[in-house]
Chains A and B, each alone.
Chain A
Amino acid sequence: MSKMIKITYREALKQALREALQTDEKVFLMGEDVGRYGGAFAVSKGFLEEFGPDRIMDVPLSESGFTGAGIGAALGGMKPIVEVMTVNFSLLAMDQIINNASTLLHMSGGQVNVSVVIRMGCGIGSQLAAQHSHSWEPFYAHVPGLIVLSVGVHEDARGMVLTALKSPDPVILFEYTSMLNMEGEIPENSGEVDISKAKVRRSGNDISLITYGTGVYKCLEAAALLAEDGIDAEVLDLRVLRPMDEESILESISKTHRALVVEDAWRSVSISSEVSARIMEKGFFELDLPVERLCGVEVPMPYPKHLETAALPQPMDIADKVKKMLRS
């Protein structure tokens, strides 16, 4: 068993990127302010000095253009990591991601694969208001041809990008800016992680809290609160939003027989709708209770803190919801 070290989410992301750049000369990072500024969230601080401007490319504010260029560079044999500063701006690159990255393999009858990694910073919770508080995981997870990963814990921050770079197909990586300063423990020798399976973050017997992204730590916090009341909740981190690991979901349900799905994204047509539907389709007879959901309230994100907090599932809400479910 390797020694555990304390690390921030930012530092974990940074170490992973650095390792990727050090170990493969074909890897390069391109994005707005990744170089001279040091990354909008200081993830790539110092990289320009270490790797030079050919590998750490500052790009103009042309989301479609540089994302498409990243896809093109992948076609040309490079291993680009495209950083879209925040997920909010990725809508401007959606034509490239959906019409090109996800379709080229298919349209070419398997001749042309797009080995690109596109990272997006998602951030809710800092009073950034309606245009800077999006959770677009469900949009991208809707699209066949993409691999959509959600970096919910420190170990994945340290490893997912490394594995993603080995994928022959386009990977969208959701990172969470609200977690950047959060400390976590990871094994000292952390590195590549599996990117095909969901993972149980806390084992429990009474109910499955199924979540991803920022939901993971919220659910773990809720599970700790519930434990005080003698409720033993399991926390399942989906991690891979497409293709979804149905097997792990069903496995957890067959143990706990109850499920609450938690996410920051809006409730309608979301990841939680998908999880819930799949449980209904394949795990219906395992259930003791109907599947319930706690999601983002369907409103463009308001600016005031108290409204923002109310718009998102909080650990206490999760715990309360579980207690209510178990009482029924």
Chain B
Amino acid sequence: MQKKTVGKSKVSSKQGNKLLHQMMLIRRFEEKSAEAYTETKIRGFLHLYSGEEAVAVGVTQALGENDNVLSTYREHGHAIAKGLDPKTIMAEMYGKQEGCSKGRGGSMHLFDASKKFFGGSAIVGGHLPLAVGMALASKKQNLDNITCCFFGEGAGAEGEFHESMNLASLWKVPVLFVCENNLYAMGTAIRFTHSIQELEKRGDSYGIPSASVDGMDLLAVMDAVKKAVSTIKKTGGPYFLVCNTYRFRAHSMFDAELYREKSEVEEWKKKDPIPKFRDYLLNANLLSEKEVDAIEKSVEKEVDEAIDFAENGTWEDIRDLTKFVYSEKEAE
């Protein structure tokens, strides 16, 4: 039984198709990534986004091409939603030079400057000051883009969260802080890490307008982000949006999940944002079963192509090892 969506956002048939497609693509991409990891094609840390798709897709659909996105080490979903090619993402995770970061970053450091996607940061909270600075640069240059910064609730306990919220509000810069509260900082539940668990309340102490939303409901996220973006556009200042969500899979591929009950995971899976949105589209006659099948097939094909692309990718010449330490281009 799917709980009915609470979001009031209306989507057209075309838009609904696109958004469902993105969420399903992210889900399938993560499943394939896990397989590739098991086959030791992908190494290092691999953090999967399954369960949280409504946040990445719901938030990113409200952003323009010139809006910056910074994210965490669980960023495949954000990258796909921001328009990075799944092929280059998969190649990146394979460590191939055709990857979006030339293979130098791996799963945790996806970059594509042309899509205004600035990582993939793996020090919790460390990218929040960067987001404030990028928004400051926009303000100084009178650009009308915003900077969106995704982070988990774990980052909310870092000093850099406090510093960044304070600076963003003080300087009134157009940054959208999106906290994906998936209830666990690695394996430690939020009740053990935050004195106030309604994280949106913390916006008040910085004078930052804030809201929380059911992050398992795409339409609700779309409602919330619409309000957030319009507030930012109106005030020029920051906004803090907490999306309450859940990751269905382990923290990383090394996690035995000793810290949570299987039953809890099963309960949350009933709130899976993908079937919820799919059923909404079907019930509203915005999409047919046939079209859902077509999306499924397309997604399968896209992910297979991404794997093929990564498999056929090439290894960077070891002689180039010390590239990208300093810029080769001359300063202007």
Contact = CB atoms under 8 A, between A and B. Distances in A.
A72 B141 contact: no
A73 B140 contact: yes
Contacts of B102: 109-110
Given A68-B129, A69-B129, A100-B130, A109 B140 contact: no
Main secondary structure of the interface of B (DSSP, over half): mixed
A167 B327 CA distance: 9
Given A72-B129, A145-B326, A107 B109 contact: yes
Given A72-B134, A105-B326, A78 B160 contact: no
Contact of A69 (B112, B123, B133, B328): B133
Given A64-B159, A108-B119, A110-B102, A69 B331 contact: no
Given A106-B325, A145-B326, A74 B141 contact: no
Interface residues of A, number: 44
A146 to B, nearest CB: 9
B129 A64 contact: yes
A80 B171 CA distance: 15
Interface stretch (B43-51, B161-169, B276-284): B161-169
A201 to B, nearest CB: 26
B131 interface: yes
Nearest to B141: A77
B220 interface: no
Contact of A167 (B131, B138, B325, B331): B331
Given A69-B132, A76-B136, A110-B102, A145 B325 contact: yes
A290 interface: no
A78 B140 contact: yes
Interface string B123-147: 1001111111111111011000001
B123 A62 contact: no
28 contacts: A28-B140, A60-B163, A60-B167, A64-B129, A68-B129, A69-B167, A72-B129, A72-B132, A72-B137, A73-B137, A74-B137, A75-B134, A76-B133, A76-B134, A77-B137, A78-B136, A96-B129, A99-B123, A100-B121, A100-B127, A106-B324, A111-B113, A115-B331, A144-B325, A145-B325, A168-B326, A168-B327, A243-B326
Interface of A: 28, 54, 59-60, 62, 64-78, 80, 95-96, 99-100, 104-113, 115, 144-145, 147, 166-169, 243
Closest 10 CB pairs of A and B: A72-B133, A68-B129, A76-B137, A109-B102, A65-B163, A69-B133, A108-B111, A62-B163, A168-B327, A72-B130
